[in-house]
């Protein structure tokens, strides 16, 4: 409890008939880089706005550092938001933009200039204080927006899709810099994005959001490898979601009855009908990786796409042609369209999903 | 499709006639203000600056010119301030009945100045306020405020809203956000609004005529001069009014289209 810097309890937001957020609970530890990931309209930005104080929840409470801030306006919160469109002050120099928050805190001018220069240095814009906003490129504006936010040393920095407007190379670079900055400052970052690659590469904790609910939460590896819901599994990268029935086998081992055959699972599970499981494309192997790996039968390759480091295959089960599968494999010895192959999966790589 | 030179004749002719139609009266007015004679009718003799000398010697006219400047600036400043506050509230605070309030604020644009002048005359009579330049100024605020509101409201985009949010997020109070962020960003619109309101007030006759008594504005003096008879001095006075109007408007356009 004491470790949580930010806590949202049963926070719900309605806009008339439309429910944007369904009573969510979210706890964020101090110093974490948290990414709220979801498709557009999922409510991720609404959650960020509630944290920033721009939106008041219909019910529920938000606490930061143990203080109830549910009704506290943005200006009195220990949070600062970096807006998607940067929202820089166009009539001020870079230096005055960065020093604005400090001057609102009545910090003396020499201190203000020193701290603004420090913040600019942190984002790699040393010596830009005298420039005007319209002289800067998109990437530089992004950095000014960051510097302006970190200059006031917020306890939580909120980032609303800040990299959305940048081109791919610059976005990659800024992702690395954001992570570097976050580790250096130790400030808690809450970052909103719809890009799962971005989320995986920068987050300590990913919060997957869909239709105003938290679908999944955890470190990137965990959310990718062991997603808890179907949405989370399909939103985070490519996936094979297979439907079947769960039953108890001998020794209490769970068996999954599916178009791929009867697959033994690593964990125990109660019997159930119409259950979905996840197998990631890279978990389907063409050679038996370990002794406990299961043969899932013959697969006819119908599509082969070269993707640089690996090959992406689409195939159909020979036994049940309706079941299509994605397989990711190495370049060397990859089969071709029309080939019939045998695939294997480790029981540990079969993940039961909630609906 | 390529247009031949003779194919452009009708459109060129049309443009020419249009501009002659619009500007001929002004050209005639200005030309005959330089008339070396007693009447501003053809043939043109001159040029001569004698009528402008007469203007400078006309104390009542020079006083009215100063009155006009003061009324124009005061009414434009107040109309712009009120228009800005109304636009800010409707655009940013989105009060209930905002659409209705906007309609009410803009509706006076369609009412004729004569009707507004008569309304003000009756109202001030009822209140026991006697006619004066202050009353004229109030009249000009009444006619210009809707226009100022419309100009400023059209410039309050959502992008600026985020900029204001950012300022508040960084700890600025509402009033500081207004003064340090909103007003400086809207400066071109505020300036354009001020210039246009000042020009309209400077040119305005009917309200100034009906609501003033001893101290009057320049258009009222020009009207008095006209009643005495047509002389090139009236042309000279009209030229001064026109020159100042057009300069203000050009200045406003220049300032508001300038790259930020």
Q: Does B167 touch chain A (CB under 8 A)?
A: yes
Query: In terms of domains, do A220 and A113 share one?
Result: yes
Report the alpha-carbon distance of residue A150 to residue B201 in Å, rounded: 49
**Chain A residues inside the 8 Å CB shell of B188:** none
Q: Does A162 touch chain B (CB under 8 A)?
A: no
pLDDT tens figures, A28-86: 999 999 999 999 889 999 999 999 999 999 999 999 998 999 999 999 999 999 998 89
Query: In terms of domains, do A224 and A253 share one?
Result: no
What's the pLDDT score for residue A2? 56
What's the pLDDT score for residue B258? 64
Domain that holds residue A8: 4-234
Q: Which of B159, B163, B187 sits opposite A89 (nearest CB)?
A: B163
* Final residue of a structural domain among A183, A215, A234: A234
> Are A101 and B173 an interchain contact pair (Cβ–Cβ within 8 Å)?
no
pLDDT tens figures, B115-160: 989 999 999 889 888 888 888 999 999 999 999 999 999 888 777 8
Q: Does A152 touch chain B (CB under 8 A)?
A: yes
* SS3 sequence of chain A: CCCEEEEEEEEEEEECCEEEEEEEEEEEECCCEEEEECCCCCCHHHHHHHHHCCCCCCEEEEEECCEECCCCCHHHCCEEEECCCCCCCCCCEHHHHHHHHHHHCCCCHHHHHHHHHHHHHHCCCCCCCCCEHHHCCHHHHHHHHHHHHHCCCCCEEEEECCCCCCCHHHHHHHHHHHHHHHHHHCCEEEEEECCHHHHHHHCCEEEEEECCEEEEEECHHHHHHCCCEHHHHHHCCCCEEEEEEEEECHHHCEEEEECCEEEECCCCCCCEEEEEEEECHHHCECCCCCCCCEEEEEEEEEEEEECCCEEEEEEEECCCCCCEEEEEEECCCCCCCCCEEEEEECHHHCEEEEC
What's the pLDDT score for residue B25? 86
* Final residue of a structural domain among A189, A217, A234: A234
Query: In terms of domains, do A221 and A298 share one?
Result: no
Query: In terms of domains, do A210 and A251 share one?
Result: no
* Final residue of a structural domain among A201, A218, A234: A234
pLDDT tens figures, A122-160: 888 888 989 999 999 888 999 999 999 999 999 999 999
Query: In terms of domains, do A155 and A304 share one?
Result: no
**Chain B residues inside the 8 Å CB shell of A76:** 171
> Are B165 and A134 an interchain contact pair (Cβ–Cβ within 8 Å)?
no
Query: In terms of domains, do A207 and A242 share one?
Result: no
Mean pLDDT of chain B: 86
Q: Does A308 touch chain B (CB under 8 A)?
A: no
> Are B166 and A52 an interchain contact pair (Cβ–Cβ within 8 Å)?
no
Mean pLDDT of chain A: 89
Query: In terms of domains, do A155 and A281 share one?
Result: no
Query: In terms of domains, do A173 and A135 share one?
Result: yes
Domain harbouring A118, CATH code: 3.40.50.300
Q: With pLDDT > 90 as the criterion, what percentage of chain A qualifies? A: 49
- How many Å lie between the alpha carbon of A105 and the closest alpha carbon of chain B? 7
What's the pLDDT score for residue B130? 80
Query: In terms of domains, do A133 and A192 share one?
Result: yes
Q: Does B25 touch chain A (CB under 8 A)?
A: no
What's the pLDDT score for residue A104? 92
What's the pLDDT score for residue A8? 93
Stated pTM of the model: 0.79
| Domain count within chain A | 2
Query: In terms of domains, do A166 and A223 share one?
Result: yes
Asked if the peptide bond before residue B169 counts as cis, ω within 30 degrees of 0, the response is no
Query: In terms of domains, do A226 and A308 share one?
Result: no
Domain harbouring A256, CATH code: 2.40.50.100
Task: Walk me through the domains of chain B, giving residue ranges and CATH numbers.
Answer: 51-257 (1.10.3720.10)
What's the pLDDT score for residue B81? 95
The model's confidence at residue B260, banded by pLDDT at 50, 70 and 90, is very low
Average pLDDT over residues B196-218: 89
pLDDT tens figures, A175-228: 999 999 999 999 999 999 999 889 999 999 999 999 999 999 999 999 999 999
Query: In terms of domains, do A337 and A221 share one?
Result: no
């Amino acid at each position: 409890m004491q470790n949580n810097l930010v806590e949202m309890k049963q926070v719900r937001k309605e806009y008339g008939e439309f429910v944007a957020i369904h009573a969510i609970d979210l706890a964020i530890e101090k110093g974490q880089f948290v990414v709220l990931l979801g498709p557009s309209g999922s409510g991720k930005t609404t959650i960020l706005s509630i944290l920033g104080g721009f939106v008041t929840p219909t019910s529920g409470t938000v606490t930061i550092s143990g203080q109830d801030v549910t009704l506290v306006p943005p200006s009195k919160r220990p949070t600062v938001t970096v807006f998607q469109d940067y929202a820089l002050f166009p009539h001020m120099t870079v230096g005055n933009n960065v020093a604005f928050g400090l001057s609102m805190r009545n910090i003396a001018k020499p201190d203000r200039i020193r701290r603004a220069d420090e913040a600019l240095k942190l984002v790699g814009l040393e010596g830009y204080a005298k420039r005007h906003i319209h002289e800067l490129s998109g990437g530089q504006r992004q950095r000014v927006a960051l510097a302006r936010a970190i200059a006031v040393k917020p306890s939580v920095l909120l980032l609303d899709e800040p990299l959305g407007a940048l081109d791919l190379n610059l976005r990659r670079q800024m992702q690395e810099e954001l992570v570097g900055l976050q580790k250096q400052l130790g400030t808690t970052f809450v970052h909103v994005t719809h890009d799962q690659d971005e989320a995986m590469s920068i987050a300590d904790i990913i919060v997957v959001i869909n239709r105003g609910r938290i679908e999944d939460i955890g470190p990137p590896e965990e959310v990718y490898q062991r997603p808890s819901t179907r949405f989370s599994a399909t939103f985070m990268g490519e996936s094979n979601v297979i439907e079947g029935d769960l039953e108890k086998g001998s020794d209490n081992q769970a068996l999954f009855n599916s178009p791929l055959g009867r697959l033994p699972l690593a964990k125990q599970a109660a019997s159930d009908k119409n259950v979905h499981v996840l197998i990631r494309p890279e978990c389907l192997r063409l050679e038996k990786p370990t002794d406990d790996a299961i043969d899932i039968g013959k697969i006819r390759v119908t599509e082969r796409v070269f993707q640089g480091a690996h090959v992406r295959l689409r195939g159909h089960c020979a036994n049940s042609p309706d079941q299509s599968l994605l397989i990711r494999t190495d370049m060397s010895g990859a089969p071709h369209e029309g080939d019939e192959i045998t695939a294997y999966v480790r029981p540990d790589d079969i993940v039961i999903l909630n609906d | 499709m390529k247009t031949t030179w003779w194919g452009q004749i009708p459109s060129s002719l049309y443009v020419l006639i249009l501009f002659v139609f619009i500007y001929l009266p002004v050209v005639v007015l200005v030309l005959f203000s330089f008339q070396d004679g007693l009447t501003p009718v053809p043939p043109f003799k001159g040029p001569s600056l004698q009528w402008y000398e007469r203007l400078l010697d006309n104390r009542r006219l020079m006083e009215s010119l100063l009155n006009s400047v003061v009324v124009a600036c005061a009414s434009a400043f107040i109309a712009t301030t009120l228009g800005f506050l109304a636009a800010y509230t409707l655009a940013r605070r989105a009060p209930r009945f905002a659409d209705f309030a906007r309609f009410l604020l803009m509706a006076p644009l369609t009412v004729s100045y004569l009707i507004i002048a008569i309304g003000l005359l009756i109202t001030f009579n009822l209140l026991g306020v006697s006619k004066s330049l202050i009353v004229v100024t109030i009249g000009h605020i009444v006619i210009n405020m809707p226009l100022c509101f419309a100009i400023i409201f059209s410039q309050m985009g959502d992008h600026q809203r985020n900029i204001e949010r950012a300022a508040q997020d960084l700890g600025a109070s509402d009033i500081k956000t207004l003064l340090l962020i909103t007003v400086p960003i809207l400066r071109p619109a505020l300036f354009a609004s001020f210039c246009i309101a000042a020009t309209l007030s400077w040119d305005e006759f009917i309200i100034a005529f009906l609501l003033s008594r001893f101290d009057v504005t320049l258009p009222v003096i020009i009207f008095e001069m006209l009643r005495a008879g047509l002389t090139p001095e009236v042309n000279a006075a009209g030229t001064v009014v026109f020159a100042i109007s057009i300069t203000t408007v050009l200045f406003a356009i220049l300032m508001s289209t300038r790259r930020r």
